[in-house]
Structure 1
Amino acid sequence: MTNILYITASARKDGSLSRMLGDRFVNGWTRRDGSGDVVRRDVGTNPPPIISQDWIAAAFTPGAERTGAQKEMLALSDQLISEVSRADMIVIATPMYNYGMPGALKAWVDQVVRVNETFTFDLARGDYPLEPVLSGKTLVLLTSSGEFGFAQGEAREEMGHLIPHLKTVSKYLGAEQIHSV
């Protein structure tokens, strides 16, 4: 039984290669697996809000000291983190826009990668003060782009920032295994 969090990030509802790849993967997996739940989160057409100064202040305020307004401001973030926490596998189907991730996916990452929720922060750890809270998850990255040659050793390798960025934040999603297509 595999619980899947399936995130789509294309702004295109129709004709999106990354959506097609994601749908095929998730549908094939659930047919093969036969059990588990799939939570679908379409940030491409329903993007989470970008974080703000007030959001950051609320996130850094200890939970017991948060005002009602701060709790309300973090409600969506709490829901998104809960979805990540419950998942065994996170599937992100996304295009690469302008050599990086779509803004809507970045907004989702910012809502989910949160101090004292998905990572802890302690300067006593020296050069690596952040420590992941979640673990044991598999991350599947299904990406598309209008150009080619972004893989390791190819002509545009240094221009493709989508997969490296997602791999960097993956540990704060609890990913221990990463697969990308």
Structure 2
Amino acid sequence: MTHLLHLDSSPRDDRSISRTLSKEFIANWKAAHPSDTVTYRDLGHHPVPLIDEPWIAAAYSAPDQHTPEQAAAIRPSNELVDEFLAADRYVFSVPMYNFSIPAGFKAYLDQIVRVGRTFSVEADGSYKGLVTGKKLLIITARGGSYPKDTPYYPYDMQEPYLRLIFGFIGITDVEVIHADNLMGGDDARQQAIATAQSALKVVVSR
């Protein structure tokens, strides 16, 4: 039995393409893998707290040294990290905002990328990811298209960053499926959605 963590990060509701695609994927996955379990978190409608000074003090000190304020500040992060580590696979839907990711999803990453929990600093100063043996599927929705070897590729600070940050904590088995060029007109939009849907069905069948 596999346990999935499913996150949506768009603040939109039914109008969100990324939400729609991830919802369809999870429905198809459950139909194909009925014994698997899914935990769902809606970052777009229920954002996590931003980190602050008490959080930073708590993250870089031993729990038995925490003040009540620091313990309260780090508690949501501990819960999010526990939830994250409990999953075997991840399905994250992430729209592109200003060539990168929504602020709410960045806040989530800040809560789970934790020294001693999801990465460590080795004696020689190098970093070591502690989250191993996991698989990540990222579903994006993007107004434009940013293929490699084109002048538009440098604008894509979404996929490279997500691959980097998850690789940093040890997750290197990452598949990214884009619904892109959504602002290219009705035909291009429908084609992009259909292409993404087909690609997601292939993931389920594998």
The alignment's TM-score, normalised by the length of structure 2, stands at: 0.81
Aligned residues: 177
Q: Which has the larger radius of gyration?
A: 2
Q: Distance between the aligned counterparts of 2:53 and 2:111, measured in 1? A: 13
Shift of 1:67: 2.3
From 142, 146, 151, the counterpart of 1:145? 142
Write out aligned runs for 1:110-121 (5 A): 110-121=110-121
Distance 1:152 1:178 in 2: 18
| Counterpart for residue 173 of structure 2 | 177
Aligned to 1:53: 53
Deviations 1:46-70 (A, max 9, x none): 1111111221111001122222322
When the two chains are superposed, the root-mean-square deviation of aligned CA atoms in Å is: 1.4
Aligned residue in 2 for 1:33: 33
Q: TM-score, normalised by structure 1?
A: 0.92
Structure 2 unaligned segments of length 5 or more: list them. 178-206
Q: Secondary structure at the match of 1:29?
A: helix
Whether the aligned pair in 2 keeps the contact of 1:8 and 1:42 (CA below 8 Å) is yes
1:68 paired to 2:68: yes
- Contact 1:134–1:172, Cα closer than 8 Å, also in 2: no
Q: Deviations over 1:65-86 (max 9, x none)?
A: 2223222211111111111111
Shift of 1:174: 4.1
Q: Distance in 2 between matches of 1:27 and 1:155?
A: 37
Map 1:86-105 onto structure 2 (within 5 A): 86-105=86-105
Q: Distance in 2 between matches of 1:173 and 1:13?
A: 30
The answer as to whether partners of 1:9 and 1:102 remain within 8 angstroms in 2 is: yes
**C-alpha distance in structure 2 between counterparts of 1:77 and 1:49, whole Å:** 9
1:6 aligns with 2:35: no
Identical positions, percent: 32
2:128 to 127, 131, 142: 131
Q: Does 1:165 align with 2:164?
A: no
